[in-house]
Structure 1
Amino acid sequence: METDQEHEQKTQNPNNGTTKDEIKLNPTSNSKTKVVLIMGATGAGKSKLAIDLASHFPIEIINADSMQVYQGLDVITNKVTPQEQKGVPHHLLGTISPSVEFTARDFRDSAISIINEVWSRNRLPVIVGGTNYYIQALVSPFLLDDSVEDAEANCFSDSQEDEQPDLEVELMSEDYDCAYNRLKDIDPVAANRIHPNNDRKINQYLNLYARFGVIPSKLLQERTVENWGQVDNSRHDFCFLCVNASLTTLDPFVDRRVDHMVDAGLLKEVFDIYTTNADYTKGLRQAIGVREFEPFLRRYIPEHQKPCDESHVQTLNDQTLKQNIQQIVDSPDDNEWKTLLTEAIEQVKLNTRRLVRRQRRRLNRLQMLFGWNIHYVDATKSILSGADDIWAVEVVKPSVGIIKSFLTGESSTENGGNVSEEMKLKQKDLWTQYVCEACGNKVLRGAHEWEEHQKGRHHRKRISRLKKSGSLCL
């Protein structure tokens, strides 16, 4: 008998699971499970495409956004609403407690289980998200940055003879600065790869050195980097789709989206999650749109408390404070509070635009260095026009064609993960640090990132200006 949920899904999306030309998802019992991965920068339309694909294939969606997995902050994390989901089943969307650190390993283990369940129902698993380290954890046979235990189990199990158990590093007694300085002394190459405040990775690298007596950069470069990101030994057969759009189109689009998020209640969510001296490096507070408002709230909240006597302070109720903040946003007058709030909103926009660039660089890296066979669909015209018919022609139609070819075996990543000799050479240079003096001593990681930076318009304009001024020494 049909459940209420199944009936609701069919009502909202009556075409879900039906096509004119039915494609058998599981042709042989011993074939790899087929999985579609939809990637792309924030704002490009990944979630929209995945939901629209349900009109052509029997699919279920698995969220791979590291912030959307958490419960709460639905506006800030831009979760698709139940209405927008159109009855298509979604997994790992707002299901994890915000007090839990949901790692790449956690995602991989959860996603594998869900993929198997979806496939057993003769439905196509569709992974959607912009968190590339989640996706790499699922695709790759090795977890590079998750934990020391994973590194040992997956990479160093054949090197037990190299262990030197007498080498120990007293990590717990050291503060973060001392631990980072110790790593710099042991392995400056590895230290250059991470931020001095990334205590988890610092401890990971020091533990690797303590266990094997070999510097982390040597171990990781020689024994693991060639596996991290490879798809040829993956447990699944993946079809990689990327929704792409030009930066000149995405930048104003994400700016407008932030404004819409403010109108939809972003500030109320920020107020609800705000605590003094919060840790913005873990869990849901890492989301863009949270920490940017701390300077405003740190000054605003104390000044809007009402002292009752010398020993007690009566705080305005939450609703009143939220209303006051909204009045500041809507106020036509420029004042201190309006300035602080405006600066916070502009910082959210700036950080979102920076995220877009990081996501694009990482996708390019996966394709260039690890040979991912990524199929790009261009959403530029659709975003500029805002027209559904252009979206259907420019994005949905080519995506459907790519997936049909993938399901029928005409296109597969089984033989698409081979890495060229040029790529292998670039892999070996992932750890080199380059510094561009022309761009204010900007630090680039690896030969590929350095080459891409040199091709960039900003770098070329800087070089041109320096040449004209005679400041550049050739």
Structure 2
Amino acid sequence: MAHPADSASTPPAPNVGEDGAIHSPPLPPQRGRPKVVIVMGATGAGKSRLAVDLAAHFAGVEVVSADSMQVYRGLDVLTNKVPLHEQKGVPHHLLSVIDPSVEFTCRDFRDHAVPIIQEILDRGGLPVIVGGTNFYIQALVSPFLFDDMAQDMQDCTLSDHPDGIGLTNDDEGGGYERLKEIDHVAAQRIHPNDHRKIKRYLELYATTGALPSNLFQGEAAKKWGRASNSKFDCCFLWVDADLQVLDNYVNQRVDCMMDAGLLDEVCDIYDPDGVYTQGLRQAIGVREFDEFFRLYLTRKESDNNKATSSATMLSVHDDQLKSMLDEAVSQLKTNTRRLVRRQRRRLHRLSKDFGWNLHRVDATKAFCCTTGNSWNKEVVEPCVDVVKSFLADGTTCSPSTNASDGIGEREVWTQYVCEACDKRVLRGAHEWEQHRQGRGHRKRVQRLKQKRSQMRPSESS
């Protein structure tokens, strides 16, 4: 089993602070902190399956879903909710509990999940948090939300009663302009169309008087995003696999979803005037079928038989509709594969930059091998060993020594513009470096160089 931090098995070296003083290595997790297991990984990696399998080895396992789309009622096939028969009697929480039309934020997840986890602990059970929405998990186990950080920002409060900042204005564009007036550094950090974050920044300033950009400086920033400051004692399991293997599995899973009634589900919530930026309609696989349903349902209006089903839609003979359906399925696969990459990048960053000790388990052989025992041998057994050690003394989950010191001091606010990629805006040095190393960026830069080299001879003549 591979670990992001190879040095986890040896005592960490003393840390030298900015003041030159030598600080003691991190203490073992406090015995008083409640223990939770957190299963992370990209979509399709097998997180839910592993969580259910852990219940066969540990008493009182209850699963708490940390998936931003599975929390909504509806789209069970598209969002890949664990069917009841596959739950094998293991209690599952936060599945299909939220109205599909409302917004469910990281803060909402935390406020729902914490009482559930506490109830499981009170029953003497073992909470197992499972999901691919890494921001949800980060909000749950670390000082991650602005509200958390603002509690440590008394020195940054500008006034005792901040008011008159125009929060009652419904003009979303005006909100961004107001943010620029209040805190131009924070405004530079976010996209003008990120209305949710703009609203949170303004609300934060209204309630605390703290500038959002100040949250990433000083003592509050040093705690931001780090699991070592959690109220829980966390054991992180990262189920991963070779990227090509995950890509192939995602493609196959989409095909299975199509056969299982995905189109029926999406058709049921289709609204030609619907908004794809809030609630369940944000799910990958909804927007992709918009053009298909727009034409398909329009043509069905003129038919005598207006009944729709996956079978009739999949067997459509109209060449234009068939082409649009094929394109939608292809786009669904592409966007899901992109999601896999974003999730994996985020996990790497949680390990490298935030010090999360993610116990990575490589499931590649389990995906490739057809024998029935491969999953248990390659995935379940290594994870059971990690959890047993964690429950015995907690030593497996000390902060990773690979983490960058002073994440809060890192440059995260500067805005970068990539001329080669149609003036794409990147925020912070980390995003910029990730973009520069990307295959797409490098290809565009190479084409731009070739174009310029071809223009030079003509210019000289």
Please say whether Structure 1 and Structure 2 have the same fold, judged by a TM-score greater than 0.5. yes
1:179 match: 175
- Quote how far apart the aligned CAs of 1:249 are: 1.4
Paired residues of 2:354 and 2:407 also in contact (CA < 8 A): no
Residues 470 and 234 of structure 1: is their aligned pair in 2 closer, same or farther, counting only changes over 3 Å?
same
- Quote how far apart the aligned CAs of 1:467 are: 5.8
Residues 190 and 387 of structure 1: is their aligned pair in 2 closer, same or farther, counting only changes over 3 Å?
farther
Paired residues of 1:60 and 1:125 also in contact (CA < 8 A): yes
Paired residues of 1:163 and 1:211 also in contact (CA < 8 A): no
CA distance in 1, matches of 2:43, 2:90: 21
Residues 50 and 202 of structure 1: is their aligned pair in 2 closer, same or farther, counting only changes over 3 Å?
same
2:151 match: 154
Paired residues of 1:430 and 1:445 also in contact (CA < 8 A): yes
Residues 180 and 316 of structure 1: is their aligned pair in 2 closer, same or farther, counting only changes over 3 Å?
farther
1:53 match: 54
- Quote how far apart the aligned CAs of 1:316 are: 6.0
Paired residues of 1:289 and 1:348 also in contact (CA < 8 A): yes
Over residues 158-204 of structure 1, what are the superposed CA-to-partner deviations in whole Å (9 max), with x where a residue is unaligned?
Answer: 24852264652223335222322343455444234333332222122
- Quote how far apart the aligned CAs of 1:439 are: 4.5
Deviates more, 1:108-117 or 1:32-41: 108-117
CA distance in 1, matches of 2:372, 2:224: 38
User: Residues 199-210 of structure 1: matches in 2 within 5 Å?
Assistant: 199-209=195-205
1:352 match: 336
User: Residues 236-251 of structure 1: matches in 2 within 5 Å?
Assistant: 236-251=232-247
2:120 match: 118
Which amino acid is the alignment partner of residue 32 of structure 2? S
Q: Does 1:235 align with 2:231?
A: yes
1:34 match: 35
Counterpart pick for 2:323 among 318, 332, 339: 339
- Quote how far apart the aligned CAs of 1:98 are: 2.2
1:321 match: 308
CA distance in 2, matches of 1:212, 1:31: 32
Paired residues of 2:62 and 2:120 also in contact (CA < 8 A): yes
Residues 154 and 72 of structure 1: is their aligned pair in 2 closer, same or farther, counting only changes over 3 Å?
same
CA distance in 2, matches of 1:127, 1:113: 13
User: Residues 138-287 of structure 1: matches in 2 within 5 Å?
Assistant: 138-144=140-146, 150=147, 154-156=151-153, 158-159=154-155, 162-163=158-159, 165=161, 168-184=164-180, 186-209=182-205, 215-222=211-218, 224-287=220-283
Deviates more, 1:233-242 or 1:449-458: 449-458
2:71 match: 69
2:130 match: 128
CA distance in 2, matches of 1:358, 1:429: 21
Q: Give the TM-score of the pair, scaled to structure 1.
A: 0.81
2:399 match: 416
Counterpart pick for 2:315 among 320, 330, 342: 330
Counterpart pick for 1:104 among 85, 103, 106: 106
2:68 is paired with a residue of what secondary structure?
A: coil
Unaligned runs of 5+ residues in structure 1 are 1-27, 145-149, 308-314
2:406 is paired with a residue of what secondary structure?
A: helix
Residues 194 and 295 of structure 1: is their aligned pair in 2 closer, same or farther, counting only changes over 3 Å?
farther
Residues 257 and 186 of structure 1: is their aligned pair in 2 closer, same or farther, counting only changes over 3 Å?
same
Residues 84 and 279 of structure 1: is their aligned pair in 2 closer, same or farther, counting only changes over 3 Å?
same
2:92 match: 90
CA distance in 1, matches of 2:164, 2:431: 35
1:79 match: 81
- Quote how far apart the aligned CAs of 1:347 are: 1.5
1:408 is paired with a residue of what secondary structure?
A: helix
2:430 match: 448
CA distance in 2, matches of 1:395, 1:374: 14
Paired residues of 1:232 and 1:417 also in contact (CA < 8 A): no
CA distance in 2, matches of 1:426, 1:233: 14
Residues 301 and 466 of structure 1: is their aligned pair in 2 closer, same or farther, counting only changes over 3 Å?
closer
CA distance in 2, matches of 1:370, 1:152: 15
Paired residues of 1:38 and 1:241 also in contact (CA < 8 A): yes
Residues 54 and 304 of structure 1: is their aligned pair in 2 closer, same or farther, counting only changes over 3 Å?
same
Residues 465 and 280 of structure 1: is their aligned pair in 2 closer, same or farther, counting only changes over 3 Å?
closer
Over residues 128-177 of structure 1, what are the superposed CA-to-partner deviations in whole Å (9 max), with x where a residue is unaligned?
Answer: 00111110111013523xxxxx3586343x24852264652223335222
Which amino acid is the alignment partner of residue 262 of structure 2? L
CA distance in 2, matches of 1:214, 1:237: 30
2:19 match: none
Counterpart pick for 2:347 among 349, 363, 370: 363
| Aligned pairs, number | 425
2:416 is paired with a residue of what secondary structure?
A: strand
2:373 is paired with a residue of what secondary structure?
A: helix
1:172 is paired with a residue of what secondary structure?
A: coil
2:10 match: none
- Quote how far apart the aligned CAs of 1:334 are: 6.4
User: Residues 3-14 of structure 1: matches in 2 within 5 Å?
Assistant: none
2:230 is paired with a residue of what secondary structure?
A: coil
CA distance in 2, matches of 1:428, 1:124: 36
1:400 match: 384
Over residues 436-456 of structure 1, what are the superposed CA-to-partner deviations in whole Å (9 max), with x where a residue is unaligned?
Answer: 444454443322333334444
Paired residues of 2:218 and 2:408 also in contact (CA < 8 A): no
2:229 is paired with a residue of what secondary structure?
A: coil
Over residues 376-398 of structure 1, what are the superposed CA-to-partner deviations in whole Å (9 max), with x where a residue is unaligned?
Answer: 00111222235432211111111
Deviates more, 1:128-137 or 1:382-391: 382-391
Paired residues of 2:413 and 2:428 also in contact (CA < 8 A): yes
1:375 is paired with a residue of what secondary structure?
A: strand
Which amino acid is the alignment partner of residue 91 of structure 1? H
Paired residues of 1:406 and 1:412 also in contact (CA < 8 A): yes
CA distance in 1, matches of 2:365, 2:297: 44
Residues 427 and 353 of structure 1: is their aligned pair in 2 closer, same or farther, counting only changes over 3 Å?
farther
Identity %: 53
Over residues 103-131 of structure 1, what are the superposed CA-to-partner deviations in whole Å (9 max), with x where a residue is unaligned?
Answer: 22222222222222222332211100011
Residues 470 and 282 of structure 1: is their aligned pair in 2 closer, same or farther, counting only changes over 3 Å?
closer
Paired residues of 2:156 and 2:211 also in contact (CA < 8 A): no
Residues 206 and 100 of structure 1: is their aligned pair in 2 closer, same or farther, counting only changes over 3 Å?
closer
1:321 is paired with a residue of what secondary structure?
A: coil
Unaligned runs of 5+ residues in structure 2 are 1-28, 455-461
CA distance in 2, matches of 1:330, 1:316: 15
